[in-house]
Chains A and B, each alone.
Chain A
Amino acid sequence: MQEHDMSWVRTEMALAQPAPARERGAYAWVRKNLIGSVGDTVLTVLGVAIVLWIVPQVINWAFINAVWTGPDRTVCTTASQGGIQPDGWTGACWAFVNAKFGQFMFGTYPIEERWRPILVAILFVALLVPMLIPRVPRKGLNAILLFAALPVVAFFLLVGGVFGLPHVETPRWGGLLVTLSLSFVGIAASLPLGVILALGRRSKMPIVKILSVVFIETVRGIPLIVVLFFASVMLPLFLPEGVSFDKYLRALIGVSLFAAAYMAEVIRGGLQAIPKGQYEGADSLGLGYWQKMSLIVLPQALKLVIPGIVNTFIGMFKDTSLVLIISMFDLLGVVKQNFADANWATPQTAKSGLIFAAFVFWLFCFGMSRYSMYTERRLDTGYKR
């Protein structure tokens, strides 16, 4: 009883006091984040000025004044240029993008055959989505279907010439179809090539090692344009008389070799990160080189570098736009080609077309980079245990 009188011990935690008023609420946030000091305030004012200067202009141009539909250039030109808009009007000409949308997606792929690329796209998405969601099982089967079966099916579907499908020659392919197919096939081909090169670079066999290093460093040292020039003007001379490659295939070879060198470096990073114990463990089990690599080392190494692989893929996706320099028509190429259409020649055409292309590229790249960050975080937690 006496203890009770002696002292009083509090058995539950005291409730936290609310923070002082000046540290709470919107004002405190503003004070902390926007006007912390004189310099900060100046920066904020500057930032607000920039935002106020740019954003209304952009919104006005891209949405409020924009023309969304129309038959030809008259809807996007001012009266003095022979159109229907009042003088002094500027706005995006989305009508141009709208009218040319089919071309931007498929190039000059015959209209009645366009269900084929659409079907391929549906198959691609159907296989890709479960591949990207970590919880969906049967990744191995999925990967084989995506990287091995899909290209075969897509090849026959897109090229045609069999099963009663009319043949569509590759110069008629274009737009996003070329961008996506080049970069996807490029990545599917560069991944195994990259693995071989990375293993070669870490090989104990001096000749194999030197060859891998020379290849990787040479390709990494020259710009993709030069590789594409190589593929478009030099490769044909390397082949015996009468044998020639399709230009699309040549670009594909160029892009794949280029990406393979970068991929090899990414994978090498993963190989180096695998502790020596794993190699030694595999050796002690009596596994041969290929068994050791394919069963023990590569699965771990590749998993480690998934973000790097995705980043290489983003780079490659962006780089496919360079094929327009060897006069192939990827998305950017088709968009630029259509600037020459007299029906749509307006001062706004080029801007609108380029912004549309930029938006499509941005959408894909941003999506991929977000996914890469997501896997990075997921893999991180795996290692923290």
Chain B
Amino acid sequence: MKHIAIGILGAAALGFMASAASAGTLDTVKQKGFIQCGVSTGLAGFSAPDDKGDWKGIDADFCRAVAAAVFGDGTKVKFTPLSAKERFTALQSGEIDILSRNTTWTSNRDSALGLDFVGVTYYDGQGFMINAKKLPGVNSALQLSGAAVCVQSGTTTELNLADYFKKNKMEYNPVVFEKLEEVNAAYDAGRCDAYTTDQSGLYGIRLTLSAPADHVVLPEIISKEPLGPAVRQGDDQWAHIARWTYFALLNAEEAGVTQANVDEMKTSTDPNIQRLLGTEPDGKYGADLGLSNDFVVNIVKAVGNYGEMFERNVGSGSPLKIARGINALWTKGGLQYGPPIR
């Protein structure tokens, strides 16, 4: 019986084990037929499972875009929910191929943690939320001296919080939790006066509180939180694919290519759009990346352009109703700027 049990364990191990040749992420991904994408355990608007277990949100859609670029099919992606603590190891060890989990781009993470950030899919900043009903008269973060502040551990948020209060010579009591759900529950129960995390997150979290209308997000933004996907260091080809998927989303928006009109646009004579959609006679911009020439068409068909992705998940088409703000294209006064495909 013992031997049989060990045999089963071995068989199970083989069944679960994902072996990847060290050739390069693109080859392995193509071989296994899908992209393994690390997401959060549930943050509305970024990556959260719906009732059927389908992942929704900007971060999830970015992975679909990469899958569309690689396979021409946005559904060839599998999601792994990760806690803040696990996310880097999961990427380092090869458990996931891309980390798209509202992760802040910092120099330390780029260097000492062995990550390679692709770009900034969402420019965010840390803010505070308070219960206006319980704390009337508080309308600035600078009034928070002495407050109990709920925060998630192991995030840049926790560090920014310490820095902000120190800089402004204010006192506070940190109430630190491991998981987002626990921070939400504690804040909702009134354990803290204020809740701090990325401002986009605050809007999403507010929806899940038992009385959303009582809570307000304070105007101060105390940090820069450029959120973006990351890949493993040392695989330039894969990093380029991820990066140009992101730029393609931006360029598509800039060129006015949308999910609805992408097929018509293929007949466009605008050389810019021709290059973008791979219809230029001898263009092989996609092939040079290791993709098909019409990879941008596949991306836009799968998830739309950046603007559509934004509005659907966090903007006007979503319950979060976050304005584009600095996430607008550079042509509209924002920071989103896609280098040209040529």
Assess whether A108 is in contact with B2, with CB atoms less than 8 Å apart.
no
What is the CB-to-nearest-CB distance from B25 to chain A, in angstroms, rounded to a whole number?
10
Assess whether B93 is in contact with A244, with CB atoms less than 8 Å apart.
yes
Chain B, residue nearest A169 (CB): B78
Assess whether B81 is in contact with A171, with CB atoms less than 8 Å apart.
yes
What is the CB-to-nearest-CB distance from A297 to chain B, in angstroms, rounded to a whole number?
14
> For the complex, is B86 an interface residue (Cβ under 8 Å from A)?
yes
Assess whether B93 is in contact with A239, with CB atoms less than 8 Å apart.
yes
Known A148-B1, A325-B178, A327-B179: A236·B95 in contact at CB below 8 Å: yes
Which of A185, A188, A233, A327 meets B81, CB within 8 Å? A327
Q: Which residues of chain A come closer than 8 Å to B42, judged between CB atoms?
A: 337, 340
> For the complex, is B9 an interface residue (Cβ under 8 Å from A)?
yes
What is the CB-to-nearest-CB distance from B156 to chain A, in angstroms, rounded to a whole number?
19
Q: Please report whether the interface of chain B is mostly helix, strand, loop or mixed according to DSSP.
A: mixed
Q: Could you tell me the distance between the alpha carbons of A336 and B85 in the complex, rounded to whole angstroms?
A: 19
Q: Which residues of chain A come closer than 8 Å to B259, judged between CB atoms?
A: none
Assess whether A242 is in contact with B28, with CB atoms less than 8 Å apart.
yes
Assess whether A247 is in contact with B80, with CB atoms less than 8 Å apart.
yes
Which among B13-21, B144-152, B285-293, B331-339 touches the partner chain?
B13-21
Assess whether A171 is in contact with B79, with CB atoms less than 8 Å apart.
yes
Q: Size band of the A side of the interface?
A: 35 or more
> For the complex, is B322 an interface residue (Cβ under 8 Å from A)?
no
Q: Could you tell me the distance between the alpha carbons of A101 and B173 in the complex, rounded to whole angstroms?
A: 38
> For the complex, is A143 an interface residue (Cβ under 8 Å from B)?
yes
Q: Which residues of chain B come closer than 8 Å to A233, judged between CB atoms?
A: 85-86, 89
A interface residues with partner B (beta carbon < 8 Å): 77, 81, 107-111, 143-144, 147-148, 151-152, 155, 159, 169-172, 185, 188-189, 191-192, 195-196, 229, 232-234, 236-237, 239, 241-249, 325-327, 329, 336-337, 339-342, 345-347, 350
Assess whether B20 is in contact with A192, with CB atoms less than 8 Å apart.
no
Assess whether B89 is in contact with A155, with CB atoms less than 8 Å apart.
no
Q: Which residues of chain B come closer than 8 Å to A242, judged between CB atoms?
A: 19-22, 28, 94
Assess whether A249 is in contact with B17, with CB atoms less than 8 Å apart.
yes
Assess whether B2 is in contact with A337, with CB atoms less than 8 Å apart.
no
Assess whether A342 is in contact with B17, with CB atoms less than 8 Å apart.
no
Question: Which B residues, 186 to 202, have Cβ-Cβ distances below 8 Å to chain A?
Answer: 188
What is the CB-to-nearest-CB distance from A217 to chain B, in angstroms, rounded to a whole number?
23
> For the complex, is B184 an interface residue (Cβ under 8 Å from A)?
yes
Known A241-B22, A345-B209, A345-B210: A151·B181 in contact at CB below 8 Å: no
Q: Which residues of chain A come closer than 8 Å to B281, judged between CB atoms?
A: none
Q: Could you tell me the distance between the alpha carbons of A262 and B22 in the complex, rounded to whole angstroms?
A: 39
Q: Could you tell me the distance between the alpha carbons of A189 and B182 in the complex, rounded to whole angstroms?
A: 33
